[in-house]
Structure 1
Amino acid sequence: MLTKNKIIEFIRKKDFKLIEELNSGSFGKTVLLQDDNINHKFVCKKYEPQTGINKKEYYNNFINEIKLLHLLYNDNIVRIFNYYLYPEKYTGYIMMEHVKGQDIYSYLREYPENLNNIFEQTIKGFVYLEKNKILHRDIRPGNIMVNENSIVKIIDFGFGKKINFQNDNQKSISINWWGNILPNDFDKKIYDNRTEIFFVGMLFQDIIQEIDSSFKYKHILKKMVNSEYDNRINSFNDILKSIVENDNNIALFTSEEKKIYQDFANIITESISEKENSSKVIMDIDAILKDLEDLKQKTMLEDYVKSKSILKILVIGQFKYYEQNHSTKFINDFFQFFKSISKEKQNIVLYNLETRLDNIRTYYNEDDEIPF
């Protein structure tokens, strides 16, 4: 007879078949197992620290990891299904979702056209962690997977912990970081969500430099990778709001406005053959408007204008270009369009022009000073 608080024992043993060992580290190893009863694979993480590590102390951290993972249920976070503890031996196992796919870098190298969507999904996953007051603490390409359905899965919370906002900044910082650049957060003994924003941003900045794809959230990324803690965007939720706002702003452009922009932007991609690595789009809106108006006046009676006259208004730095003739109609239409829209939309236009420039082949000036 069932009574309240009675201990329910499941004494039937459940067996799994070992498929392969996935990886191992200082605190244990991870294997892939198969449950033949339901024909399903699981990842099993065993807590088994190496000699010299205090098993009892870190066993409590292992228990905390299980507690953290049990709080989470989100499409972009790896799921935990079960756990098996052996407290007398200070060891245990976590049975987790098997993410069949690739790490984020391998995936984006193969499918660069999905960059924007993968960025959006990753931010949504970290928004969920942020709302649950959980830090990841081990942000690296191998811990952000993309499955066969192109769904981002954030995995491996070995360094995760619940945030205590009053005391967190006084706690010691333990982190694995694969990159070379660190934010000034560590000088202030800070590790919080804003720190993780920096690491997620650096992860995407690194792969964007390698793949050939148009990234529409470059202005957001710049706010993420600011090494100054106080100047960085505040939260993953703020990033998500900026993503939504960006998409809404793009929707505010009419098809006619998009056509005017694209005709003008094509001048850059059709005229510049190569750019020097330090070349960039001029971001001074007033200066661009003034120079466009001057060019419009100088070519009012002409049908065509040379490439260089247009490019020097938009691009600062060295570049190689084809001297071509472009219809003055494109210049006049763009000037009227750019002048009439809000400053916010003007910035969006310049960010998109910057993306166009970034996709042009880059060369490095051999005269640049080098250490040796």
Structure 2
Amino acid sequence: MRDTVMLRGVALRLTVDNQCLIMDSKKIVFQQGRGYTLEKELGSGACGQTVLLHDAAIDEYFVCKKYAPADIRWREVLFSNFVREIKLMHALHHINVVRVFNYVLYPDRFAGYIFMEYINGPDIDAYSADHPEDINSLFAQVVEGFDHLQSKRILHRDIRTTNILVTENGAVKIIDFGFGKQAVDSADFDKSISLNWWCALPPEFAEKIYDHCTEVYFVGKLFEQLIDKHQLSHFQYSDVLRRMVEPSRKKRSESFSHVRQEILGKPRSIEFSSDDVECYRAFTRTLTARISKIYSTATCFGIEDIHLKLQESYKAMMLEQAAQDSALVIQCFIDGGYMYYSKQAFPVDQVRNFLDLLNRCSKEQKNIVEANLHARINALPKKPHVKSGFDEMDDDIPF
């Protein structure tokens, strides 16, 4: 495929692997010569359908949400809502909120697509039934996700179990911002939606009020329902939950930031206690001592990913004195290739203590832990990346 390109008055033709770049003084437009493989339909509704696509070029799956209302009379009227959803999702970047990668809009036809992260996992209801031991982690993650939404002044406005998914690694993902709204001033907090709510409505609905305090209520009711339905007796935050579902707004927790602080306990300074420092040092000494080399292309996961991955790995070792395969721990930190000492076990109590440290850290403290971890891991001996074959084998196993 060829296109003529005008650049500073000079006509050019560009052809690069079927990727055509069209440029003028105002726009740069990429015309894509390849497509995606349609894997399956995930769902459909009055405003269009959602499908799973595969990109063979990078071997990744994406969820594609197509805007195409069945009733053509509504296409123009609701198109602005679809654009609003894209704007909201582009403002969000958090491990517990679904990511949006790209979008395509056709304003002249009132049509469009959103390309989003594919979450291979059930909703929070089904996940809680199969993994009741994770209820405390799920609660903390949901609060973290909605705290991020509130920090961006975004109201989700459709809080229900089907809109909170959980990955196979136990990571919460808040999805579906079709009813979302960014609240800029007081007029934006009116109850301008009508949904089939699944629980008792808060009293402020009678006054047409829907704000972040209202969202606190619905998240609380959602977990109240999960705990009752699945008979979860080991939930640790009963007092916090009771304040979230208070009918009276004066008695209810006013924000997700407030709820988060209650989960963490008394707000801590950015300083670490001597016990925290020793816990960190003992764990990281053992971690780095188990790693022989890391490949030059390898990187370190972010602290939230590390926290989730380590919690999941801990389940497979928590009844043991030591994890016989240190890769159970190492793989939670290094994203890429590494070599490690396969005959050296990893003390489980150090993993448990480090998880306890992460659980009680504030966001600021977690950032400090992440910076120190990255510095330690980046200081490990590097090995050039090889595409095939194995290197010398002593006690190390390439991973």
Q: Taking every aligned residue pair, what percent have the same amino acid on both sides?
A: 43
Of residues 194, 199, 202, the one that matches 2:213 is: 194
- The question of 1:74 aligning with 2:94 is answered yes
Judge conservation of contact 1:138–1:175 (CA < 8 Å) in 2.
no
Alpha-carbon distance between aligned partners in 2 of 1:110 and 1:143, rounded to the nearest angstrom: 18
Judge conservation of contact 2:52–2:63 (CA < 8 Å) in 1.
yes
Of residues 70, 75, 97, the one that matches 1:55 is: 75
Judge conservation of contact 2:42–2:50 (CA < 8 Å) in 1.
yes
Could you say what secondary structure the match of 2:88 adopts?
helix
Paired position in structure 2 for 1:14: 34
Of residues 145, 163, 187, the one that matches 1:125 is: 145
Alpha-carbon distance between aligned partners in 2 of 1:165 and 1:237, rounded to the nearest angstrom: 19
Paired position in structure 2 for 1:24: 44
Judge conservation of contact 2:52–2:64 (CA < 8 Å) in 1.
yes
- The question of 1:89 aligning with 2:119 is answered no
Of residues 223, 227, 245, the one that matches 2:247 is: 227
Alpha-carbon distance between aligned partners in 2 of 1:231 and 1:145, rounded to the nearest angstrom: 30
Deviations 1:35-92 (A, max 9, x none): 1111110000011113275211210111111111111111000000011111111010
Alpha-carbon distance between aligned partners in 2 of 1:25 and 1:196, rounded to the nearest angstrom: 24
Judge conservation of contact 2:36–2:53 (CA < 8 Å) in 1.
yes
Paired position in structure 2 for 1:332: none
Size of the aligned set, in residue pairs, is 248
Alpha-carbon distance between aligned partners in 1 of 2:143 and 2:24, rounded to the nearest angstrom: 43
**Aligned amino acid, residue 129 of structure 2:** R
Cα distance, 1:83–1:207 mapped onto 2, change above 3 Å: same
Alpha-carbon distance between aligned partners in 1 of 2:210 and 2:72, rounded to the nearest angstrom: 27
Q: How does 1:324-339 map to 2 (within 5 A)?
A: none
**Aligned amino acid, residue 188 of structure 1:** E
Alpha-carbon distance between aligned partners in 1 of 2:32 and 2:198, rounded to the nearest angstrom: 47
Paired position in structure 2 for 1:324: none
Deviation at residue 110 of structure 1 after TM alignment: 0.6
| TM score, norm. by length of structure 1 | 0.63
The structure whose residues are more often helix, as a share, is: 1
Alpha-carbon distance between aligned partners in 2 of 1:122 and 1:215, rounded to the nearest angstrom: 14
Q: Which moved more, 1:115-124 or 1:21-30?
A: 21-30
- The question of 1:174 aligning with 2:174 is answered no
Alpha-carbon distance between aligned partners in 2 of 1:8 and 1:30, rounded to the nearest angstrom: 28
Deviations 1:292-338 (A, max 9, x none): xxxxxxxxxxxxxxxxxxxxxxxxxxxxxxxxxxxxxxxxxxxxxxx
- The question of 1:205 aligning with 2:228 is answered no
5+ residue gaps in structure 1?
249-372
The runs of at least 4 consecutive aligned structure 1 residues that moved more than 4 Å come to: 1-5
Deviation at residue 172 of structure 1 after TM alignment: 4.7
> Which of the pair has the greater relative contact order for Cα pairs under 8 Å at 6+ separation?
1
Could you say what secondary structure the match of 2:28 adopts?
coil
- The question of 1:142 aligning with 2:167 is answered no
Paired position in structure 2 for 1:370: none
RMSD after superposition:
2.1
Deviations 1:150-182 (A, max 9, x none): 10000010001110332124x452143441310
Q: Which moved more, 1:179-188 or 1:198-207?
A: 179-188
Judge conservation of contact 2:38–2:51 (CA < 8 Å) in 1.
yes
Q: Which moved more, 1:207-216 or 1:110-119?
A: 207-216
Alpha-carbon distance between aligned partners in 2 of 1:238 and 1:247, rounded to the nearest angstrom: 10
Q: How does 1:340-355 map to 2 (within 5 A)?
A: none
| Max Rg structure | 1
**Aligned amino acid, residue 25 of structure 1:** G
Cα distance, 1:115–1:246 mapped onto 2, change above 3 Å: farther
Judge conservation of contact 2:199–2:221 (CA < 8 Å) in 1.
no
Judge conservation of contact 1:137–1:175 (CA < 8 Å) in 2.
no
Deviation at residue 184 of structure 1 after TM alignment: 0.6
Deviation at residue 227 of structure 1 after TM alignment: 1.9
Judge conservation of contact 1:143–1:155 (CA < 8 Å) in 2.
yes
Alpha-carbon distance between aligned partners in 2 of 1:117 and 1:178, rounded to the nearest angstrom: 25
Judge conservation of contact 1:138–1:177 (CA < 8 Å) in 2.
no
Judge conservation of contact 2:121–2:167 (CA < 8 Å) in 1.
yes
5+ residue gaps in structure 2?
1-6, 9-22, 269-399
Could you say what secondary structure the match of 1:89 adopts?
coil
Alpha-carbon distance between aligned partners in 2 of 1:245 and 1:173, rounded to the nearest angstrom: 35
Judge conservation of contact 2:104–2:112 (CA < 8 Å) in 1.
yes
- The question of 1:159 aligning with 2:194 is answered no
Alpha-carbon distance between aligned partners in 2 of 1:214 and 1:174, rounded to the nearest angstrom: 36
Could you say what secondary structure the match of 2:29 adopts?
coil
Deviation at residue 5 of structure 1 after TM alignment: 5.2
**Aligned amino acid, residue 45 of structure 1:** K
